[in-house]
Structure 1
């Protein structure tokens, strides 16, 4: 069809992706991949003639690409496929691209006639970052002489210089709405995911098949600030133990986190909703799948035996071979293929399941949120949400709560707070750690933009609780960045 194809290596068997059926008989494929130095989760690009360029495989094995977070690689690889297809249609291979070709592609991506889905500046910035990385590695390995991503040295305030892509977008807006007030979130959740009417009454036409699961996921995300991949691949065994405290702690594994494993905290209320989902909707889906013999027909699966107190996971595969590794190392694909022995047979080890009883791909949550936001729009409500908006919202709520808690613990008045800047620096650090950010600058400048130019003490001076409606209404009015409802 004249298009490049993208596949991903798995943890065994054939690579996942369209057309992978031709390799299902290669039972030793995982061993072949390991012998060739190919890691699980590595992209494979196939040109329109069905050939694989070994140089691209070397690029994807290179440390600069291999060490990127799984989500980053999953973003970059599809962009490579689209760009390579664009070049192919012009009679060029990927290693023949020059700056002029990239300029033409940028024009087509952003403004080109005939492009059914032109992208915004933020998407183009990701396209450009991915291509810059690929051609940087290709140049290091001697596969190209020059990168088509031309750059210019720009002087910084501290005297240093940084390379900026000449085609870097100039229309990226950092002031898009990214936050939901608590009452704005509850309205979106109840109407969009729970099927209630805006007045709080039940809708007679609401099917209500997955509302327990969807509302549990949203509450967990809004409470914990976990990323879509981190929360979406959580195992039942990784749920925090229910304790008599407002927040309970759990652990995010390194292989599904963006950079490193870390502790997370979730409210007891959100945890209880997840446990209720386990006992109701999830159990019903598993029983239906067991009655249909769905799990018994699986050709490849892994049975999770236990997770020790030292976070060592032990499991066996369908051939009886046993394995052990730290939970930190369990990848998305491994988690999707893991089951446990239940009282009535195999059950998925992952927490979130589809209606058919199979593990739910974490990317599917984006569509769930989109449908919920569309439902709110049809009801005349001006509230919407994405999984990442809930993460932003958690950061804002937590910053205000921590400031307020520190005030009470130290007995400070708003005026005295100015003399304790060192102590308040720890509040920003705590929020940074909760989000799993590498830099505090990211937390300050991107996630907590509503507070730019505002003095927190003015907002908290007469606020008994940092989560009350008046506080968020004031932030919404002043910044225009927070979705709130009257």
Structure 2
């Protein structure tokens, strides 16, 4: 499908340049900012335009109502999946309107997406996600009477969660059912250190400085990834961290907790985040050195004075700003508002954001995604077979933490009687639930995926310990040469 016959995704934005027109009527009508504010449309909200350049108000109502409080990444992903489906209807199904889509359209779409030689050959995990996205959209559209039917066939839910399984709900029948479990990509501590030192810090696999390394922010980048793997924060959550969420170092305290506000926590999962003393010291070293240097450079060039519509904290001991005459504290600001947040200090303005780029401005998520990609390229150049991405740091935190907690939990339980076990459970809780809270998962079923990773780890460890000359103890060696006997040697090769 070419760009001429596809739907397109755009994102709303305030403060666009006004068109130069001599027509006073058009000039009067052109006040996009007022319209966005009147309709409570925030910056970055996606909307879809059809191949004829038309705006479908019923379709885009989905983003303005159902998804308006969803994380930006979720909104972008939904818009992208819907765009693919709508473009297929337009280009391959006779410009069919989404309201008239039928199950046979979805069957044809699945064939094109997964097996058609001319299609993209997406894997079943991707297909299942796309089905879920379009299914939720049509459930909403049918309730709103915008569509007469959901083109996705349904079946009774067989969720692993008993509450969902017994709720009488349905799930898409055309999901693969054979797609692999969500792959938990994670690194052991040793693997992570090797990746970090080679990819981010500019060392060789032997631990020597790499003379070809040209990175100027190795310490900052390593500090960022260290914080991520030690806390399990998501990319969007950590990137929006501010100086006001950074706790002070307390001598003798091994872990210091800080509060992650609901406005920057995905799905509003506000929670305590525990920072190990080593990571916290690294963070303060970054603030006092690399970050301070970036701020000073930006001040000298007048960067902060040129910011458009900044939110300024007059007194850092009283972290609030005035928005439309209302006093708003820092913990009530969302991701985009925090990027505009400045602190007025005796040395001049500085961003409240913890993570800054080389220009002294708050760094974005795409910046950190590129940092990880560049690190992976450097590892590949050194023939180091290690890759990492931000979510792999989160997975690593979950698997390693859960393994350590379960080890201690089982050891404690084995040494006490049943009554004491009940008391122990009431006081210290369930390790799986503790990890769920730290990760900000809404359902324990999501956290259960990490138990699967532990089971895989245990099996890999057991298999690695099998000696090369091992044979089943109850098998006669002569049977291995018997052509009528089971092919045990191949089975255990």
CA separation in 1, counterparts of 2:385 and 2:422? Answer: 38
Report the alpha carbon displacement of residue 210 of structure 1 after superposing the two structures with TM.
1.6
Query: Residues 197-212 of structure 1 correspond to what in structure 2 (within 5 A)?
Result: 197-212=204-219
CA separation in 1, counterparts of 2:7 and 2:463? Answer: 45
Corresponding residue of 2:100: 96
1:394-431 deviations in Å (ceiling 9; x for gaps)? 122223433456688xxx47454887267355222222
Is residue 424 of structure 2 the alignment partner of residue 440 of structure 1? no
1:137-180 deviations in Å (ceiling 9; x for gaps)? 11111111012222223567978454231321345322745221
Check 1:341–1:154 CA distance in 2 against 1; reply closer, same or farther (3 A cut): closer
Report the alpha carbon displacement of residue 102 of structure 1 after superposing the two structures with TM.
2.4
Is residue 200 of structure 2 the alignment partner of residue 196 of structure 1? no
Corresponding residue of 1:287: 296
Report the alpha carbon displacement of residue 230 of structure 1 after superposing the two structures with TM.
0.7
Aligned residues: 442
Corresponding residue of 1:257: 265
Check 1:300–1:175 CA distance in 2 against 1; reply closer, same or farther (3 A cut): closer
CA separation in 1, counterparts of 2:404 and 2:81? Answer: 40
CA separation in 2, counterparts of 1:114 and 1:293? Answer: 53
Corresponding residue of 1:457: none
SS at structure 2 position matched to 1:249 = strand
1:183-228 deviations in Å (ceiling 9; x for gaps)? 1111111111111111111111111312122101100001111111
Whether the aligned pair in 1 keeps the contact of 2:184 and 2:450 (CA below 8 Å) is no
CA separation in 1, counterparts of 2:377 and 2:194? Answer: 13
Corresponding residue of 1:246: 254
Query: Residues 232-243 of structure 1 correspond to what in structure 2 (within 5 A)?
Result: 232-243=239-250
SS at structure 1 position matched to 2:365 = coil
State which structure, 1 or 2, has the greater radius of gyration over its C-alpha atoms.
Answer: 2
SS at structure 1 position matched to 2:257 = strand
Corresponding residue of 2:151: 148
Instruction: List runs of 5+ in structure 1 lacking aligned partners.
Output: 15-19, 454-471, 481-486
Corresponding residue of 1:460: none
Whether the aligned pair in 1 keeps the contact of 2:321 and 2:329 (CA below 8 Å) is no
Query: Residues 447-466 of structure 1 correspond to what in structure 2 (within 5 A)?
Result: 447-452=450-455
CA separation in 2, counterparts of 1:292 and 1:285? Answer: 11
User: 2:280 aligned to 249, 271, 283, which one?
Assistant: 271
1:2-26 deviations in Å (ceiling 9; x for gaps)? 433323335x434xxxxx8869x99
Corresponding residue of 1:374: 377
- State the Cα RMSD in Å: 3.2
Report the alpha carbon displacement of residue 73 of structure 1 after superposing the two structures with TM.
2.1
1:99-131 deviations in Å (ceiling 9; x for gaps)? 22222333333334444x543222222222211
Is residue 14 of structure 2 the alignment partner of residue 8 of structure 1? no
CA separation in 1, counterparts of 2:423 and 2:131? Answer: 39
Whether the aligned pair in 1 keeps the contact of 2:99 and 2:148 (CA below 8 Å) is no
User: 1:55 aligned to 55, 58, 62, which one?
Assistant: 58
Corresponding residue of 2:82: 80
Whether the aligned pair in 2 keeps the contact of 1:70 and 1:256 (CA below 8 Å) is no
1:80-110 deviations in Å (ceiling 9; x for gaps)? 2232233332423332322222223333333
Whether the aligned pair in 2 keeps the contact of 1:8 and 1:44 (CA below 8 Å) is yes
Q: Which moved more, 1:417-426 or 1:178-187?
A: 417-426
Query: Residues 39-438 of structure 1 correspond to what in structure 2 (within 5 A)?
Result: 39=42, 41-62=44-65, 64-90=66-92, 91-115=95-119, 118-154=121-157, 160=166, 161-174=168-181, 176-244=183-251, 245-259=253-267, 260-305=269-314, 313-316=319-322, 323-403=326-406, 412=412, 414=414, 416=416, 420=421, 423-424=424-425, 425-438=429-442
User: 1:36 aligned to 23, 39, 44, which one?
Assistant: 39
Check 1:271–1:27 CA distance in 2 against 1; reply closer, same or farther (3 A cut): farther
CA separation in 1, counterparts of 2:403 and 2:158? Answer: 36
Q: Which has the higher contact order (CA 8 A, sep 6+)?
A: 1
Check 1:331–1:231 CA distance in 2 against 1; reply closer, same or farther (3 A cut): same
Report the alpha carbon displacement of residue 136 of structure 1 after superposing the two structures with TM.
1.1
CA separation in 1, counterparts of 2:159 and 2:237? Answer: 35
Report the alpha carbon displacement of residue 307 of structure 1 after superposing the two structures with TM.
6.8
Report the alpha carbon displacement of residue 34 of structure 1 after superposing the two structures with TM.
3.3
User: 1:477 aligned to 444, 453, 461, which one?
Assistant: 461
TM-score (norm 2): 0.79
Q: Which moved more, 1:291-300 or 1:182-191?
A: 291-300
Check 1:356–1:119 CA distance in 2 against 1; reply closer, same or farther (3 A cut): farther
Whether the aligned pair in 2 keeps the contact of 1:9 and 1:41 (CA below 8 Å) is yes
CA separation in 2, counterparts of 1:440 and 1:53? Answer: 38
Report the alpha carbon displacement of residue 442 of structure 1 after superposing the two structures with TM.
2.3
Report the alpha carbon displacement of residue 239 of structure 1 after superposing the two structures with TM.
1.2
Check 1:341–1:4 CA distance in 2 against 1; reply closer, same or farther (3 A cut): farther
Whether the aligned pair in 2 keeps the contact of 1:314 and 1:322 (CA below 8 Å) is no
Whether the aligned pair in 1 keeps the contact of 2:89 and 2:97 (CA below 8 Å) is yes
1:26-57 deviations in Å (ceiling 9; x for gaps)? 99644422323435553222223332211123
